[in-house]
Structure 1
Amino acid sequence: MADRMLQFVRVPQAMPDKRDAAARRGDFHEIYADFDVPRAREQSGRCSQCGVPFCQVHCPLGNNIPDWLKLTAEGRLEEAYEVSSATNTFPEICGRICPQDRLCEGNCVIEKGFDSVTIGAVERFITDTAFAQGWVQAPVPRAENGMSVGIVGAGPGGLAAAEQLRLKGYAVHVYDRHDRVGGLMIYGIPNFKLEKEVVLRRHRLFEQAGIVFHLGCEIGRDIGLDELRTRHDAVLLATGVYRARELGGPGAGLAGIVPALDYLIASNRTGLGDAVPEFDSGTLDAAGRDVVVIGGGDTAMDCVRTAIRQGAKSVRCLYRRDRANMPGSLREVKNAEEEGVEFVWLSAPEAFLGDDHVTGVRAVRMHLGLPDASGRQSVEPIEGSHFTIPATLVIKALGFDPEDLPATFAEPALAVSRWGTLKIDHRSFMTSIPGVFAAGDIVRGASLVVWAIRDGRDAAAQMHAWLQHTAAEDGRSSPLAAD
Structure 2
Amino acid sequence: MDIVMPERMLKFVATPQAMPDKRPAAERRRDFDEIYANYAREKAAEQAARCSQCGVPFCQIHCPLHNNIPDWLKLTAEGRLEEAYELSSATNNFPEICGRICPQDRLCEGNCVIEKGFESVTIGSVEKFITDTAWNQGWVQPIKPRRERPESVGIVGAGPAGLAAAEQLRRKGYQVTIYDRYDRVGGLLIYGIPNFKLEKDIVQRREKLLRESKVTFELNCEVGRDVTMDQLRARHAAVLIATGVYKARDIAAPGVGVKGIVAALDYLTASNRNGLGDKVADFDSGALNAKGKNVVVIGGGDTAMDCVRTAVRQGAKSVKCLYRRDRANMPGSQREVKHAEEEGVEFVWLTSPQGFLGKDHVSHVRSVRIHLGMPDSTGRQTPQEIPNSHVNIHADLVLKALGFDPEDLPALLKAPDLGVTGWGTLKIDWKSMMTNLDSVFAAGDIVRGASLVVWAVRDGRDAAERIHTYLTTKAPLAKLDGAVAIAAE
The normalised TM-score by structure 2 is: 0.97
Corresponding residue for residue 10 of structure 2: 6
Contact 2:150–2:485 at 8 Å: present in 1 too?
Answer: no
Using the alignment, how far apart are the partners of 2:376 and 2:90 within structure 1?
40
1:128 matches 2:132 = yes
Contact 1:140–1:210 at 8 Å: present in 2 too?
Answer: no
Corresponding residue for residue 186 of structure 2: 182
Using the alignment, how far apart are the partners of 1:279 and 1:206 within structure 2?
32
**Out of 235, 249, 254, which is 1:250 matched to?**
254
Long gaps (5+) in structure 2: 479-483
Contact 1:319–1:346 at 8 Å: present in 2 too?
Answer: yes
SS of residue matched to 1:163: helix
**Out of 154, 161, 169, which is 2:158 matched to?**
154
Give the Å deviation of 1:160: 0.2
Using the alignment, how far apart are the partners of 2:105 and 2:373 within structure 1?
26
Corresponding residue for residue 285 of structure 2: 281
1:98 matches 2:94 = no
1:307 matches 2:328 = no
Residue identity in the other structure for 1:438: A
1:42 matches 2:42 = no
Moved over 6 A (4+): 473-476
Give the Å deviation of 1:472: 3.8
Using the alignment, how far apart are the partners of 1:315 and 1:429 within structure 2?
43
Percentage of pairs with the same residue = 70
Using the alignment, how far apart are the partners of 1:152 and 1:478 within structure 2?
23
Contact 1:143–1:169 at 8 Å: present in 2 too?
Answer: yes
CA displacement, residues 140-197 of structure 1 (integer Å, 9 cap, x when unaligned)? 2111110000000000000000000011111100000111100000000000000000
CA displacement, residues 387-418 of structure 1 (integer Å, 9 cap, x when unaligned)? 11100100000000000011111211101001
SS of residue matched to 2:288: coil
Corresponding residue for residue 416 of structure 2: 412
**Out of 419, 438, 450, which is 1:446 matched to?**
450
**Out of 463, 467, 471, which is 1:463 matched to?**
467
* Backbone CA RMSD of aligned residues: 1.1
**Out of 225, 233, 237, which is 1:233 matched to?**
237
Using the alignment, how far apart are the partners of 2:99 and 2:377 within structure 1?
33
| Equivalent residue pairs, number | 480
Residue identity in the other structure for 2:21: D
Using the alignment, how far apart are the partners of 1:247 and 1:53 within structure 2?
42
**Out of 289, 292, 298, which is 1:294 matched to?**
298
SS of residue matched to 1:8: coil
SS of residue matched to 2:474: helix
Using the alignment, how far apart are the partners of 1:473 and 1:271 within structure 2?
47
Residue identity in the other structure for 2:217: F
Corresponding residue for residue 405 of structure 2: 401
Corresponding residue for residue 481 of structure 2: none
Using the alignment, how far apart are the partners of 2:142 and 2:350 within structure 1?
49
Q: Structure 1 stretch 291-300 or stretch 410-419: which is displaced more?
A: 410-419
SS of residue matched to 2:87: helix
CA displacement, residues 99-157 of structure 1 (integer Å, 9 cap, x when unaligned)? 00000000000000000000000000000000000001112211111000000000000
Give the Å deviation of 1:2: 6.4
Corresponding residue for residue 368 of structure 2: 364
1:316 matches 2:320 = yes
Corresponding residue for residue 352 of structure 1: 356
1:119 matches 2:123 = yes
Using the alignment, how far apart are the partners of 1:376 and 1:383 within structure 2?
22
Contact 2:244–2:446 at 8 Å: present in 1 too?
Answer: yes
Corresponding residue for residue 112 of structure 2: 108
Contact 1:471–1:477 at 8 Å: present in 2 too?
Answer: no
Residue identity in the other structure for 1:284: L
Residue identity in the other structure for 2:29: R
Using the alignment, how far apart are the partners of 2:202 and 2:404 within structure 1?
25
Corresponding residue for residue 433 of structure 2: 429
Corresponding residue for residue 87 of structure 1: 91
Using the alignment, how far apart are the partners of 2:230 and 2:379 within structure 1?
42
Using the alignment, how far apart are the partners of 1:361 and 1:399 within structure 2?
19
The normalised TM-score by structure 1 is: 0.98
Long gaps (5+) in structure 1: none
Corresponding residue for residue 143 of structure 2: 139
Give the Å deviation of 1:370: 1.1
Residue identity in the other structure for 1:461: E
Using the alignment, how far apart are the partners of 2:74 and 2:224 within structure 1?
49
